[in-house]
Structure 1
Amino acid sequence: MGGVAVRWVLLGLLLATLYVGSLALFPVEEVRVEGLRHLREEEVRKALELAPGDPWLWVLPGRVEALGQNPWVAEARLEKPRVGAVRVVVRERKPFLPLEDGQALSEDGVLLPGGAPHAHGPRVVGRGPLPKEALLALARAYPEARRLRYTPAGFWVELPEAVLFAPSAELLLKYAQAPRPKGQVFLYSWGVSQRP
C-alpha cells in the first residue's frame, strides 16, 4: 500500500506543477470585443472579469454567461483564436419601439434601458401594464404607424392620415390588410364606425 500512496502523491504534485505552470506560461495577452453598438467595451470586460495577464488556459466559454444578464446582449460567444488571445463576439438586441420612459422594446420583446433614441418604430404611449406582444404585432402590421397608444379601454394606431381604435389588438390586426381610410376608424366585433 505504501507504493500506491507514493504514486498518488507524485500524481498530485505533477498536476499541481502543471496547474501553476499554466498560470505563468500562457497569460492572456490580448482581449478583443467585437459587435458592440450600444454597450461600452469596459462594461463587457467588467462582466467577463477578464484582463491581460489572466491564465489563458483557464479562460473558458462559460465566462460569457455573465453577459446574458444584460438585456442588450442577445448572444455572446468566447473564442480563443491563438495562444494568449481572447475574442468575445457580442450580438446586441435591436431597439424597435421607443417608450415614454426612455426605454425601448427590442424586436424580440425585451426592455432595453436608454434605447428609445435608437428605436426606429412608432412611439409607444399608454397606461397600465405594457402589452409587449400586442404592441410588437401592431407595429409589424402597421409599418407606417407614427404612434401606438394603449389603455385598459383598448389600442390606438395613429397613421399619417387616420387614427384606428379597437378594444383589442386582435381586431386591429385583422383590419391591417384592409384599405386605409382617412379620419377616425373605430373597430368593434360587431362592425366598423368611421368619422372624417
Structure 2
Amino acid sequence: MKPVRTLFLLLLLGTLYVGSLVLFPVEKVEVVGLRHLKEEAVLAKARLHPGDPWLWVLPTRLSPLLEDPWVAEAHLEKPKPGVVRLIVREREPFLPLADGAALAKDGTLLPGGAPYAPGPWVEGKGPLPKEALLALARAYPKAKRIRYTPAGFYVDLPGTTLFAASAELLLEYAQATWPQGHVYLYSWGVSLRP
C-alpha cells in the first residue's frame, strides 16, 4: 500500500509542476531602479525572461546579479500572477580613477564608472588606498584632484596644492584656510612654497 501512495504523491507533484509551467508563465518582467546598467544585461544575469514559469521565479536567481559590483541590492516581487518586478539599487560612483573605473561611496570599485563620478579626479602609484581617498574627498569637497604616491597624498584645491605624508594629517587640517601655492604639512609644522 505504501509504494502506491508514494507513486501517487510523485505523480501528483509531477502533474502540479508541469501544470505550473503551462498555466502560469511569466508574461511581463519589470525592472525598476536602473541608472547605469542596461536592462537586457540585468535580466540575462538574473535569468528572467517572459515565458519562464512564474511560480518558480525565486530569489535564488538573483545570486549572479548580486555579484556585479554595480549592484548594491536586488529584490524580486510578484505583484500578480504572470508579472515579476525586479527592484535594483545601484551603487553610486563617487571618485573617478585614471584607469576609467570609479570608487563608489562605499569603496567598491566600479568598472567603467569614471564618466559618472562627480568627485575629484584620482591618480596615483601603488596600491589603491580606498578608505583614505574617500575620506579625503569628503573632507575636501572643493578638491579638483587627489594624488597618492608612496611618499604621501596631494590634494589639489583651486589655487592651492596640499601635501602630507599621510591622509590622517590632511584630514586633521581639512577645515583650515590655506594661502595660494604649495603647502606641505608635516607633523612638526607647515612649509609654504608660492
Q: Does the TM-score normalized on the shorter chain lie above 0.5?
A: yes
Indicate the larger mover: 136-145 or 180-189. 180-189
Matched, 1:35 2:37: no
AA in 1 matched with 2:160:
A
Q: How does 1:35-184 map to 2 (within 5 A)?
A: 35-184=33-182
Q: Distance in 1 between matches of 2:75 and 2:178?
A: 45
Q: TM-score, normalised by structure 2?
A: 0.97
CA distance in 1, matches of 2:103, 2:84: 32
Measure, in 2, the Cα distance between the counterparts of 1:131 and 1:144: 20
Which whole-Å CA distance do the structure 2 matches of 1:181 and 1:173 have between them?
17
Report deviation, 1:179. Answer: 2.0
Contact 1:27 1:56 in 2 (8 A): yes
Determine helix, strand or coil for the equivalent of 2:168: helix
Q: Distance in 2 between matches of 1:4 and 1:95?
A: 61
Structure 1 Cα separation of the partners of residues 171 and 71 of structure 2 = 30
The separation in 2 between residues aligned to 1:4 and 1:74, in whole angstroms, is: 50
Cα separation, 1, equivalents of 2:121 and 2:3: 72
1:9 and 2:21 matched: no
Offset at 1:181?
Answer: 2.5
AA in 1 matched with 2:110 = L
AA partner of residue 183 (structure 2): V
List structure 1 runs of 4+ shifted beyond 3 angstroms: none
* SS of residue paired to 1:81: strand
Matched residue of 1:124: which SS?
Answer: strand
Q: What is the CA distance between 1:157 and its match in structure 2?
A: 0.3
Q: Which amino acid aligns with 1:157?
A: V
Between 117-126 and 63-72, the greater mean CA deviation after superposition: 63-72
The equivalent of 2:16 in structure 1 is 18
Cα deviation code 1:6-35 (max 9, x no counterpart): 111111111111111111110000011111
TM-score (norm: length of structure 1): 0.96
State whether residues 167 and 188 of structure 1, in contact with CA within 8 Å, keep that contact through their aligned partners in structure 2: yes
RMSD value over aligned CA atoms? Answer: 0.9
Q: Distance in 2 between matches of 1:192 and 1:180?
A: 11
Q: For residues 105 and 125 of structure 1, what CA distance do their matches in structure 2 show?
A: 12
| Aligned partner letter, 2:148 | Y
User: Percent same amino acid at aligned positions?
Assistant: 69
Q: In 2, are the aligned partners of 1:61 and 1:79 still within 8 Å (CA)? A: no
1:46 counterpart letter in structure 2: A
2:103 maps to amino acid: L
